[in-house]
Structure 1
Amino acid sequence: MELASLIFDKINKNKDSLNAHFLKTKSEIGYFFLDDLLPNEISLKIHKVFPEYSKMVLKKSIREDKYVASQMNLYNPLLEEIIFSFQEKKIVDLIAEICEIKEAIPDENLYAGGISMMGKNQFLNPHLDNSHDKDRESWRVLNLLFYVTPNWNIEYGGNLELWPNGLKEKQVTIHSKFNRLIVMATHNNSMHSVSPVTFDGFRCCISNYYFSKKPLLETDSFHVTSFRGRPENKFSDAILQIDTWARMAIRKLFKKGIKENPHVYKKGN
């Protein structure tokens, strides 16, 4: 794949500095980001072929408000190509090496991955990602986010927020800048969110997750996607904690949940 080769070369050229940044932050929530991942004209083309929001799935609740899609054969082939470029073995192995993970496994099912869009007033509350893959056989260890909206200023919102010291301490904000790749660790302490969008436009993102047969932390344990309210929203925080407790109770009885998560790529459909 041409895109995979371009991505590999860019990451490989910067792997030492990316590794240093990941290790510097590893004791809390390890992460790194890389700008100008692809030639600008290619990232602009990827953005141009994003579907209209009406052709995506709206996930709207007290937990989150965003548009998502994972059934990639319904959309422009370029979107599927860029998503699965990140799943090429040489790229998976390179990113695993940078993050000092012995083995990383890409997810062809795009469980909670794929593409997403967030428009004005949309958000993603602080949360821990589901600890496992859709079959609850492997641990989620890395989250890859590639942003493709041109001229997206940090003041527009829709930025990734990390809460390494919990909700009582100030978050780390990482700008969802055009042509920027962010890779972050996912474990029992990797609370993160997306700030509310304040701009009258859409922030577009390509998402992938990597898994492993071993968790990142020895203290990691199974959990569903666990939401909290933002620090200023005490009422929603209380409701969301009850919501997480209830969904965890259900998963103790039904290992894979009561119904199948629809956010997966069913190839052949």
Structure 2
Amino acid sequence: MKFINLSVEELHALAKSKHQEYESANPFPNIYFDNFFNPERLSEILDEFPDMSKRPDLKFEDTNQIKLASKGEYRFGEETREFMHFLNSQPFLEFLSILTGIDALIPDPYFEGGGCHQIMPGGLLKIHADFNKNKLTNLDRRLNVLVYLNKDWNEEWGGHFELWDTEMKHSVKKILPLFNRMAIFTTTDFSYHGHPDALKCPQDRNRKSLALYYYTNGRPSYEINAGLENHSTLFKARPYQDKSRISVKEIVKQITPPILYNAAKKITR
């Protein structure tokens, strides 16, 4: 296969050998692989990564996140589009199902919320549980795959992908977003994760990744937070950190209806 140096049979065997490690991981099922993909092909994808910094329509900025994200596949370069289609293909879906034990995974060809993600210096994504339904298909979100594209990344710059315990007491696992590292984890209403600290990389660097989400028709009841059967992203505050960092202005913005907040901003200008 073009993007990996494994046959389908070898891909299945790898998934079987890692299934127990995935299933028993803390704080919820997860794993990451280094050098999983052909590095030359992944370098080509990095070379054509879209510059989203000048696109305000691709920017997400509020008290919980400062990031850039593509919408759909039309901004993908040729190599990126082919790669993303491979990650939605039968061989890779079979690999994911064998690895995770989640049968009949369905990809998202619309890349709703997925695609190219970019965090600039100072950016972040606070700890959260993901939206649980695809708004276009109404399928249940079950699995995330993140492919990192950051060469020569310095650990002092941060950007770790963090996995937190269900009670939001502490970070259980931190994954540095290194080039050709792929993180995979099960998404439930209690799988809290994110990149919560502001990125400290130089101004000429940024954190790049590709995100793909996978779905099923229905999900186990133990993955559902009763009363929140259909929800958007659920952000969670870290103890002694995020709460203290919220400014008075941010608190006012959160509790004030948008129409009143925007009107007040115009008056005070």
Per the normalisation by structure 2, the TM-score is 0.80
Residue identity opposite 1:218 in structure 2: Y
Residue identity opposite 2:180 in structure 1: N
1:51 matched residue in structure 2: 50
CA-CA distance at 1:170 after TM superposition: 3.2
2:72 matched residue in structure 1: 71
Q: Distance in 1 between matches of 2:105 and 2:78?
A: 25
Residue identity opposite 1:43 in structure 2: L
Q: Distance in 2 between matches of 1:146 and 1:203?
A: 11
Q: Secondary structure at the match of 1:103?
A: coil
Identity of aligned residues (%): 21
Q: Distance in 1 between matches of 2:6 and 2:118?
A: 24
Q: Secondary structure at the match of 1:54?
A: coil
Task: Give the count of matched residue pairs.
Answer: 243
Q: Distance in 2 between matches of 1:122 and 1:172?
A: 20
The 1:186/1:11 distance shift into structure 2, 3 A limit, reads: same
| Pair 1:210 & 2:217 matched | no
CA-CA distance at 1:216 after TM superposition: 4.5
Q: Distance in 1 between matches of 2:207 and 2:54?
A: 16
Q: Secondary structure at the match of 1:189?
A: coil
Q: Distance in 1 between matches of 2:7 and 2:126?
A: 30
CA-CA distance at 1:23 after TM superposition: 1.5
Residue identity opposite 2:24 in structure 1: K
Question: 1:223 pairs with 218, 224, 231, which one?
Answer: 231
Do the aligned partners of 2:12 and 2:94 also contact (CA within 8 Å) in 1? Answer: no
Question: 2:200 pairs with 176, 194, 198, which one?
Answer: 198
Do the aligned partners of 1:160 and 1:192 also contact (CA within 8 Å) in 2? Answer: yes
CA-CA distance at 1:8 after TM superposition: 5.5
The 1:11/1:60 distance shift into structure 2, 3 A limit, reads: farther
Q: Deviations over 1:217-268 (max 9, x none)?
A: 535133221112333121549979x969x9xxxxxxxxxxxxxxxxxxxxxx
Residue identity opposite 1:50 in structure 2: F
1:233 matched residue in structure 2: 242
Residue identity opposite 1:229 in structure 2: A
Q: Who wins on radius of gyration, i.e. which is larger?
A: 2
Q: Distance in 1 between matches of 2:141 and 2:10?
A: 25
Bigger shift: 16-25 or 78-87?
A: 16-25
Bigger shift: 192-201 or 116-125?
A: 192-201
CA-CA distance at 1:167 after TM superposition: 2.2
CA-CA distance at 1:205 after TM superposition: 0.5
The 1:86/1:168 distance shift into structure 2, 3 A limit, reads: same
CA RMSD of aligned residues (A): 2.8
Q: How does 1:1-269 map to 2 (within 5 A)?
A: 2-3=2-3, 11-12=11-12, 14-25=14-25, 28-54=27-53, 56=55, 57-135=58-136, 137-195=138-196, 196-200=198-202, 201-220=205-224, 221-231=229-239, 232-235=241-244, 236=246
Residue identity opposite 1:117 in structure 2: Q
Q: Distance in 1 between matches of 2:214 and 2:29?
A: 14
Q: Distance in 2 between matches of 1:105 and 1:153?
A: 35
CA-CA distance at 1:168 after TM superposition: 1.7
Do the aligned partners of 1:187 and 1:216 also contact (CA within 8 Å) in 2? Answer: no
CA-CA distance at 1:14 after TM superposition: 2.6
Q: Distance in 1 between matches of 2:66 and 2:121?
A: 10
2:263 matched residue in structure 1: none
Do the aligned partners of 2:3 and 2:38 also contact (CA within 8 Å) in 1? Answer: no
1:259 matched residue in structure 2: none
CA-CA distance at 1:6 after TM superposition: 5.3
Residue identity opposite 1:204 in structure 2: K
Q: Give unmatched runs, 5+ long, in structure 1.
A: 247-269
